[in-house]
Amino acid sequence: MPEITAGTPWRSSMGDIPMTLEYPEGSMVDVLGEIAEKYPNNIAFDFMGRATSYREMMKNIEQCARSLKTIGIRENDRVTIAMPNCPQAIYLFYAVNMVGAVANMVHPLSGEKELEFYINESGSVTVVTLDQFYHKIEAIRADTCVVNVVIASIKDALSRPVRAGYMLTEGRKIEKIPDDAPVIRWKEFMRLGRSCFWKYKVRRTGDDPAVILYSGGTTGTTKGILLTNRNFNALARQITATNPMFRPGDKMLSAMPLFHGFGLGVCIHSMLANGGRCVLVPRFTAKSYAGLITKYRCNFIAGVPTLYEALLRIPGMERADLSCLKGVFSGGDSLSVELKKKFDRFLYDHKATIQVREGYGTTETVTACCLTPPNMFKEGSIGIPFPDTYIKIVRPGTDEELPYGEEGEILLAGPTVMKEYVNHPEETARTLRRHADGLTWVYTGDLGTMDDEGFIYFRGRAKRMIVTSGYNVYPAQLENILDAHESVQMSCVIGVPDPYRMQRVKAFVMLKPGVPASDETRADILAYCEKRIARYAMPKEIEFRDELPKTLVGKVAYRVLEEEEEARRETAGDDR
C-alpha cells in the first residue's frame, strides 16, 4: 500500500495549497536576515513589556556573532545554550548560526550531572546560561572541555521600571556570583564584539548541522539529535503553508521552551522566519499564560494538553475575549477526546471561531510533521502529513506496510528528518533507514493507524516512557540514578495518571538491609535526586517496598506495579 503524503484534505479544507514547497538553501539566520530587510520596523518579539523590532534584533544578533568570534568560536564548534525564553537566548541562538557553529540547546533546570552529560556529549567549548544557574555550571565545569562560560541576566533585558521591580522580587532570590568568578558577564561579552569587524559571518548550506536537541530516541537513552538548517527552514515553510490564515505581524504566545523542538521550531523560528511576532514567556504558569493571551491579543497559541486543561480552571478568564485567535495547536502528548471537547467549548464561549488542532511529531523531525486541518477534524486523529512529508504504517521494525486501519509502527520521511544521533551511529542506523522508494524513514517506535484519507491515529508508544507536562521521561534513566544512591538496593519508576500533568513520576524503592524506611531517608533520596534529575522529571512520590515484583527472567515487573497502582486508585477513588 502506498504511503500517504499531504493531499486532498488540505485542498478541500483550505483551498489550493501546493503540496510541494520550495525551501531555502541557506542558513536559518539567512532567512531571518531577509525577513528583517523586508519588515525592519515590525516587532520581532515582546519580553516582559518590552518590544524589540526586527532591525534591533538583527543588530544584536550580529553584535553577538562578533563576540562569539572574538572569544574563539569557529565553524562547527558546539555552544551550549542553557536558557529560558528570553532575548539573550534569541540573539545567541541565531548568532551561533551566523558564525557557522552548532547550538546545543539544553534545559536550564537540568541537574548538574545532566548538564555535564549534555556538555560532554556535544563537545561544547562554551556555555551560556543565566546568573541563577551559574553555580550548577561551576560545579561540573572541571569535568568538561568548556573554555568560556558566559553569564546573562534577565534584568539586562528589562526596561528600567520593570528591572527595578524584578530586582526587588525575583532578583533578590538569585545567589550572588563571586566578583572573581571565571566567567564573562553578558554586557562585557557584547562589548567584546566591538573589536571584531571581519569574517565573522560564515556561509552555511541547508545541509550543514545547526542545532542539537535531546530526546530518548527509540531506546529511551538520552541522545543528542543533530538537526540541519534545512530541517528548521523547511518546518517554517510548512507551518505557514498549512496555516494560510497567518499574516506577517501575527502574534504567537511563545511559552513552549527553546530547548524543545515544539518551542524552538514552531513558536520561535517558524514565526520569526515569516515575519511573525513572538510573545516570549520565560517561565510558564497557567495564570501568566492566560493573562498574556488577552493582554497581547495573541493570534496563535501552542502547547501541551496539560496547558489547555489548566486554562479551563483559571479564574478571571470568564469574560476573556478570544476572538483574536486564528490557531490553537496541541502537541507533545495525546489530546484526549474529552479534553478537546471541553476546550473547544471554552473557545466557543469566549468568542473564538476556531477549534484546537492536534498535531504529531518527534524531535527527530524537529517537532510537528502532522497536523489536523482547520476545517476537517476527525475524532481521535492527530491529522495528516505536512507538505513534502510522508507517513506510513508498517509492521514494527520492518518495512512491511499494513492495510488501512491496521495498527503498526509510525514511520516518517521528509525535509525535516534529522541528520543523526550525536555519537551513536548504531542507533542512527536503526532509526534512519533508506527504503526502496529512495526515502530515508524515521522509525518512531510509536504505534498508530491510518485511514483511507491519510488521517493518522496515534495509539501509544512502543517503548516504555512517561509523558509528564509534555516532556518525555525515561524510567530506566531515573532508576539508574536512584539505584546509585548508597541506601537503595533496587528501584522501579512508573507514571501514574495526573489530571494536570497527564502523568506524574512515582518511584518504588527497595532499601538496603538496615536502612530505615523513614521520612529522613526519603528526604535524603529526594535531595540526592534534585542534583541529578531535571525538575519536571523528579519523582513526586517515593514508596518504600520490602521487595519489588519480578518477571520470570528476574526483571522488575513494572507492569505489576502499574496494575497495583491502578487498582489502588479505583478502590480509593483517587482522581488526583
Average pLDDT rounded to a whole number, residues 421-436: 96
CA distance 409 to 402: 9
**Based on C-alpha coordinates, what's the Rg of the chain?**
24
In a domain? residue 158: yes
Least confident interval from 30-39, 154-163, 246-255, 385-394: 154-163
pLDDT at 319 over 90: no
In a domain? residue 227: no
- pTM here is 0.84
Give the Cβ contact number of residue 24 at 10 Å.
Answer: 19
Q: What does the block give as the cell for 249?
A: 505581524
pLDDT at 573 over 70: no
Helix axis angle, 28-38 to 229-241, nearest 10°: 50
Give the three-class secondary structure for 171: helix
Share of the chain above pLDDT 70, in %: 93
Least confident interval from 26-35, 365-374, 558-567: 558-567
Q: What local confidence, expressed as pLDDT, does residue 10 receive?
A: 53
pLDDT at 367 over 60: yes
pLDDT at 19 over 90: no
Last residue of a domain, one of 180, 204, 228: 204
Give the Cβ contact number of residue 166 at 10 Å.
Answer: 17
Q: Is 11 exposed, middle or buried (0-12, 13-18, 19+ CB in 10 A)?
A: middle
Residue 325, CA distances (Å) to 245, 250, 294 in order: 11, 10, 10
C-beta of residue 443 within 8 angstroms of C-beta of residue 412: no
What are the tens digits of pLDDT across the range 397-420?
899 999 999 989 999 999 999 999
**Number of domains making up the chain:** 2
C-beta of residue 43 within 8 angstroms of C-beta of residue 50: no
What are residue 148's DSSP bridge partners?
126
Give the three-class secondary structure for 209: strand
Which CATH number does the domain housing residue 70 bear?
Answer: 3.40.50.980
- Strands laid side by side in the 148-152 sheet: 184-185, 148-152, 126-130, 78-82, 102-105, 209-215, 223-228, 420-421
Q: Which of 68, 74, 103, 92 is nearest to 196 (CA)?
A: 68
Give the three-class secondary structure for 253: strand
CA distance 415 to 129: 31
Q: Which of 81, 43, 41 is nearest to 64 (CA)?
A: 81
Which CATH number does the domain housing residue 477 bear?
Answer: 3.30.300.30
Q: What local confidence, expressed as pLDDT, does residue 216 receive?
A: 62
Q: Which stretch, 151-160, 175-184, 223-232, has highest mean pLDDT?
A: 223-232
Average pLDDT rounded to a whole number, residues 379-396: 94
In a domain? residue 120: yes
Least confident interval from 129-138, 162-171, 242-251, 256-265: 162-171
Last residue of a domain, one of 204, 238, 260: 204
What are the tens digits of pLDDT across the range 287-297?
788 889 999 99
In a domain? residue 337: no
In a domain? residue 285: no
Q: Of 535 and 272, which is predicted with more confidence?
A: 272
Q: What local confidence, expressed as pLDDT, does residue 28 receive?
A: 98
- Its domain, for residue 528, covers 466-572
Residue 266, CA distances (Å) to 14, 119, 361 in order: 20, 25, 12
Least confident interval from 343-352, 521-530, 548-557: 548-557
In a domain? residue 281: no
Last residue of a domain, one of 171, 186, 204: 204
Give the three-class secondary structure for 147: coil
Q: Which stretch, 28-32, 373-377, 530-534, has highest mean pLDDT?
A: 28-32
In a domain? residue 241: no
In a domain? residue 526: yes
Distance of CA 28 to the CA centre of its chain: 18
Tell me the DSSP string of 280-338. Answer: E-SS--HHHHHHHHHHHT-SEEEE-HHHHHHHTT-TT-TT---TT-SEEEE-SS---HH
